[in-house]
Amino acid sequence: MIIKILTLFPAMFEGFLNESIIKRAIDKGNCKIEVIDIRSYSTDKHHHVDDTPCGGGAGMVLAVDVVHRAIRENQTKNSHILLMSPQGKPYSQKEAYRLSEYEELILICGHYEGFDERIREYVDEEISIGDYVLTGGELPSMVVCDSVVRLLNQTIKEESHQNDSFSYGLLEYPQYTRPIVYNGEKVPEVLLNGNHKKIEEFRKKESLRRTLLRRPDLLEKYSLSIEEEKLLKEIQEELT
């Protein structure tokens, strides 16, 4: 996969691209990530990329001609173009899986007061990572990039993301490691006895419990199996 990030602040991505799973994915050749400075597509001598809003108002607006030029000179026939915007489609794990199927993504980071409305004519979709406003699209683009890259083949073990929270509709079960006992708190015995059937049942039940207590809205949309219905009933009885 190729990911191109159009931004006014390319230095923000230096640490992001040189640490952890993202760096490993790049080194393995699973993906290529290019950070492109939108300012380099400005044509005036001062490299302006914005202007005051038509009709008046506070702040500065990202100019359509500069952004369109940056898109046009970097897109290919395989490009799927995303605009990071608080007005966009809510982002989710399901969306991450969908985006991971594209050969090439172009992520556009908005900034300042906003962007010229006509920029929307040149993108395929808008993505929002939450109902709040940030100073720019750099952090959202990192979120999208990270969530997509980790799903690419051989970046991490497939089983590692298959059990992630939201991957199959529920929150992930609790995880433990050594030391077995810490400050009087012990790892649940069922995880230590080697009975894989019991371990699977424990994890399924705890996944349901955690979802019920923390995100009951997810259960309303989740189709329970007969076994899960039984486990959920047990949990509800334990909580009463």
Decide if pLDDT at 207 tops 60.
yes
| 179 upstream amide cis, omega within 30 of 0 | yes
Rounded CA gap, 144 and 121, in Å?
Answer: 21
CATH superfamily of 165-239: tRNA(m1g37)methyltransferase, domain 2 (1.10.1270.20)
The string of pLDDT tens digits covering residues 82-130 is 999 999 999 999 999 999 999 999 999 988 668 999 999 999 999 999 9
The string of pLDDT tens digits covering residues 43-55 is 998 999 999 999 9
Domain spans in the chain, listed from the N-terminal domain onward: 2-158, 165-239
Q: What is the DSSP string of 146-202?
A: HHHHTTSTTTS-HHHHHTSTTTSSSPPPP---S-SEETTEE--GGGTS--HHHHHHH
34, 164, 201, 228: which one is catalytic?
A: 164
Are the C-beta atoms of residues 135 and 84 closer than 8 Å to each other? no
pLDDT of residue 73: 98
pLDDT of residue 153: 83
86, 95, 126, 172: which one is catalytic?
A: 86
- Our answer to whether residue 113 is catalytic in this structure is yes
pLDDT of residue 223: 95
Q: Please give the DSSP secondary-structure letter assigned to residue 52.
A: P
Decide if pLDDT at 192 tops 90.
yes
Decide if pLDDT at 228 tops 60.
yes
- Our answer to whether residue 86 is catalytic in this structure is yes
CATH number at 2-158: 3.40.1280.10
The mean pLDDT of 180-191, rounded to a whole number, is 96
pLDDT of residue 160: 55
- Which tokens is 191 given? 């995880």
113, 172, 201, 228: which one is catalytic?
A: 113
- Our answer to whether residue 164 is catalytic in this structure is yes
The string of pLDDT tens digits covering residues 57-76 is 888 999 999 999 999 999 99
Give the residue from 66, 62, 152, 67 showing the smallest Cα distance to 104: 152
- Our answer to whether residue 150 is catalytic in this structure is yes
Rounded CA gap, 70 and 105, in Å?
Answer: 14
The string of pLDDT tens digits covering residues 134-183 is 999 999 999 999 999 999 987 866 655 555 556 678 999 999 999 999 99
pLDDT of residue 163: 54
50, 116, 150, 209: which one is catalytic?
A: 150
What contacts 157, CB < 8 A, 6 or more positions away? none
